[in-house]
Amino acid sequence: MDRLLTIITVGAAMIDDFFVRALLAGIGLALMAGPLGCFVIWKRMAYFGDTLSHGALLGIALGLLFELHLELSVFLVCSLIAVTLFLLQRRASISSDALLGILAHASLAIGLVVLSLMTWIRVDLMGLLFGDILAVSHHDLTVIAGTLVITSVLLSLTWRSLFAATVSRELAEAEGLNPQRAEIIFMLLIASVIAVAIKIVGVLLITSLLIIPAATARRISLSPGQMMLVSSIIGVFAVVLGLTGSLNLDTPSGPSIVVASVGLFLISMTPLAHQIRLQFRRRIT
């Protein structure tokens, strides 16, 4: 009993440490980003993710302007952009590539203009753009934990439809799945991950947290489920390495995490990845 109490006390004390909070937030984020990132690269939606994350800055600006909860306003703006894109792509009068470019830079630029017009608020722009490990509060941890739970539940419910539609939308629909619903849920999940990721990696680099661990995981995975799991684990590694580097070298947290994940990706390009793959295969057969 005493021991348990000690553990709890020590644990509570640790969460008071800003670095531990940043680590926990980053790990939670990486766990969510793993499977979602796999879908982002499977569905070739990297640029879509970029557009949403640029939109996050507009979300922050509007949130500050109207004094809303910041994560909520980012989530709402990103969701709005996602749904707009989804509807516009059905019409397809403009190529989706151009559309994404227009929306991405429009929302980033409007966000920056609005932020600089609000002279009464001092904003740490570097922190917003590239992440700031000092910024993670207790409240943020709660929000991330909640998002992690919701993401896990929704993704485990919809992943089969989503995956089947990734392989062949026609096939999924013909065999009675509902890919459209799964895709809308997926986009909302991306929006929520972006909303909670800003403090850790910053607006400009969020997509890399989705894409790089997933691409790394692809090198060693044999099945889609395994790739999602491995992607999460690699993301956690990158976060721990990156944040440690950020603390010791006094570098911005976002770029540090991205540099770490690129490092892991490069390692996966070496023959080592092939060895791991063989190990996985041997275990199966």
Partner 1 sequence: MSEKPLIKLTQAGYQTTDRWLVRDVSLSVTQGEIVTLIGPNGSGKSTTAKMALGILKPTTGEAFRAPGLKVSYVPQKLMIDWTLPLDVAHFFQLTGRLSIQAQHHAIEATGISHLLDQELRSLSGGEFQRVLIARAIAREPDLLVLDEPVQGVDFSGENELYQLIGTIRDDLQCGILMISHDLHVVMAKTDQVICLNGHVCCSGTPVTVSQTDEFQALFGLRGHADIALYQHHHDHQHSADGSIAHNHHSGCSHD
Nearer to partner 1, 167 or 267 (CB): 167
- Which of these, 207, 185, 259, 210, lies nearest to 55 by C-alpha position? 207
Of these, 223, 270, 275, 279, which contacts partner 1 (CB under 8 A)? Answer: 223
Supply the minimum distance, in Å, between the C-beta of residue 221 and partner 1.
5
* CA-derived radius of gyration, the chain: 19
Nearer to partner 1, 106 or 218 (CB): 218
Q: What angle do CA 51, 152, 137 make, to 5 degrees?
A: 70
**What do you get for the CA distance between the two ends of the chain, in Å?**
46
Of these, 2, 67, 170, 250, which contacts partner 1 (CB under 8 A)? Answer: 170
Residue type for position 211: I
Q: Binding to partner 1 by residue 178, rule CB under 8 A?
A: no
Of these, 14, 134, 167, 278, which contacts partner 1 (CB under 8 A)? Answer: 167
Please state the three-class secondary structure of 56-84 as a single string. Answer: HHHHHHHHHHCCCCHHHHHHHHHHHHHHH
Of these, 10, 109, 157, 222, which contacts partner 1 (CB under 8 A)? Answer: 222
Could you give the CA distance from residue 74 to residue 263 in angstroms, rounded to a whole number? 30
Token digits of residue 89 = 């792509």
Supply the minimum distance, in Å, between the C-beta of residue 227 and partner 1.
5
Q: Binding to partner 1 by residue 157, rule CB under 8 A?
A: no
Q: Which of residues 15-54 bind partner 1 (CB under 8 A)?
A: 41-42, 44
Supply the minimum distance, in Å, between the C-beta of residue 16 and partner 1.
41
Q: Binding to partner 1 by residue 174, rule CB under 8 A?
A: yes
Could you give the CA distance from residue 30 to residue 148 in angstroms, rounded to a whole number? 10
Supply the minimum distance, in Å, between the C-beta of residue 163 and partner 1.
7
Q: Binding to partner 1 by residue 57, rule CB under 8 A?
A: no
Q: Which residues have a Cβ under 8 Å from the Cβ of 246 and sit 6 or more positions away?
A: 133, 252, 253, 256, 257
Positions touching partner 1 (CB under 8 A) are 41-42, 44, 160, 163-164, 166-168, 170-177, 214-215, 218, 221-227, 281, 284-285
